[in-house]
A and B are shown apart, each in its own frame.
Chain A
Amino acid sequence: MAIMKVKDLSVDFSGVSVLKNLTIAMEKGQIISVIGPNGSGKSTLLKALSRNLKPDKGSVYLDDNNLAQLSAKFIARKMAVLPQSPEAPKDLTVRDLVEYGRYPHQSWWQGKSAQDDQCVDWALVQTGLEDMASRIVSTLSGGERQRVWIAMALAQKPEILLLDEPTTYLDICHQLEIMELLVAFNHEHSITVAMVLHDINHAARYSDCVVILRQGEVFAIGSPDEVITPHALRAVFGVESEIRMDNVGRPVVIITGLTKKRG
């Protein structure tokens, strides 16, 4: 069953179409990665999914309901969003920030409930931050900070988590840490994860479904071994590559060079 659907989605930026009639269905319980070269529209797609950008045409559906017709808080109880490199006020503690994740579950006349506290504790444990709860977020390392933002998203208790390049600016160890964390949430709590990724090998290694965008259109969609092919990489990224299989049967891309332009 599709938890999120995009239908005929088009976005223009001052006359230039960035997304052209996209139609994508995201299956519940999967990890979906969107890859594509710079300017292919992948961040724009995520912004449209997270309501940070109004589509010029077409709609986004969450559980078969048109996103434009749902209340903001209702959406936030089902869907958590993590934009690229967010910034927190300088004096917030880890726990303060994660508590904001409970906002969609609170009404304006109520303070936080015992359940809110439980969810925050749970989110901190899931992300391994329980010992850092009273640290100031801005004093943490990049990888730790990203875990705090993910913890905030988890505290929302979402069914689907959207992330825009969650591993940008992190070293390789922290990149894998974040990816493994997301896989764990997906497996253990069946949270659907949809993310924009820069690294093709991360997409290949961790996703159930890969969407390749080219110039605002879906070039291919399917399982990693179906869509990540030398042909696709040549056509979309303009690079030559070899594909090997790793020990768990996932494709690994080895880039061998730029595709020579003809003529």
Chain B
Amino acid sequence: MLSKKCFSYGNIRERGAWRALVLTIFTLLAVGGMILSLTKGALDISLNDIISAVFFDSSGANWQVIWNIRLPRTLVGALVGINLALAGAILQGVMKNPLADPHIIGISSGAGLAGVTIMILFPHKEYLVTPIAFVGAMASALFIYILAWRGGIRPIRIILAGVAVSAFLNSGISALMVFYSDRVHGALMWMVGGLSARSWPHLDIILPYTIVGGVLAILGARRLNLLNLGDDIARGLGLNVEVSRIAMTAVAALLAASAVSVVGLLGFVGLIVPHAARLLVGSDYRYLLPASAILGVAVVTLSDTLARVAFSPIEIPVGIIMAFVGAPFFLYLLRRDA
């Protein structure tokens, strides 16, 4: 059935079945990804051991590895996948631009400059990276908002302001890296994005944003659908276009900032996952948002597993794997759809 053309069928019943099928496959991938992420690594652990370690017994041999390393890392990966995919899906709708992603509203460059500054200038204060990166991300998103505001937010002004502000902040990152080239390694790893050594505290940081942001995103699904009809039509249908656009951008900013500040600048998920989901389930946000979130979980957990086992014992940052495997797959989807 997957060989069928992507989402374009008129028959409503057939379309419902298709959506259900795609969502089921995404869910299986996500669950499979999480299981693989728990079982595979420097040490292969059986699923039985994992279930007993998580739910029953804290005395088993691998309990430490499972409970303190694998489980939190897998969960952080899953939530990061959800957050970035939702943020990207929302922004693509709000900006009505297929290239919109958390970069466009300055999340990545803001978090990037703030995080790199801490890592390079204050390496002994590394615990500050996450909160400062979050502040940096939100500050730069807010700054772009203010720059783009003129009696309302027009997507094209946000995008242009975003490009300019990001270029400005990125030059700061580059300057830091050039001046302190001896300290670049950690910063570089963080700029690519990775899940290594992510544990329970990180989960605590990101979880509230996933819950609140996820709920707000789903509640905003119909508004996003209306925005996709164009401002004139949406306004005619009684949507408060400006308020909706600002509110949904803010939701996306929180989702992305919380994810990026924890795992670094994972670029790929927020751009490609929502597109892949859209190609398969269509543009109705009531289905697109859950589909993107679930696919985000699958992509991040699967990529992270691959990142750990591909060149074991050396671990590659997940951001590299994701773009390396994901980009060709996305191009395949794109060709097939055209």
> Which residues of A pack against B, CB within 8 Å?
50-52, 54, 71-77, 79-83, 86-93, 95-97, 100-101, 103-104, 108, 134-136, 153, 156, 162
Contacts and interface: CB of A to CB of B under 8 A. Distances in A.
Nearest to B225: A100
B218 to A, nearest CB: 11
B10 A52 contact: no
Contacts of B284: 91-92, 96
A76 B236 contact: yes
B240 A72 contact: yes
B233 interface: yes
A103 B235 contact: no
B7 A101 contact: no
Interface residues of B, number: 26
B222 A103 contact: yes
Contacts, number: 77
Contacts of B235: 50-52, 72, 81
Contacts of B222: 103, 108
Interface in B205-234: 219, 222, 225-226, 228-233
A134 B10 CA distance: 5
Interface in B1-45: 7-8, 10-12, 15
A91 B236 contact: no
Contacts of A134: 10-12
A72 B222 CA distance: 15
Contacts of B12: 93, 95, 134
Nearest to A109: B219
B225 A76 contact: no
Nearest to A52: B232
B10 A83 contact: no
B153 to A, nearest CB: 15
3 nearest interchain CB pairs? A76-B238, A81-B236, A104-B238
Contacts of B236: 50, 76, 79-83, 153, 162
A46 B66 CA distance: 64
B238 A73 contact: yes
A92 B283 contact: yes
A136 B226 contact: no
B69 interface: no
A87 B238 CA distance: 18
A91 B282 contact: yes
Given A51-B235, A83-B232, A100-B229, 15 more contacts: A74-B238, A76-B237, A80-B236, A83-B230, A86-B233, A89-B283, A92-B284, A93-B12, A96-B284, A103-B239, A104-B237, A104-B238, A108-B219, A134-B10, A153-B236
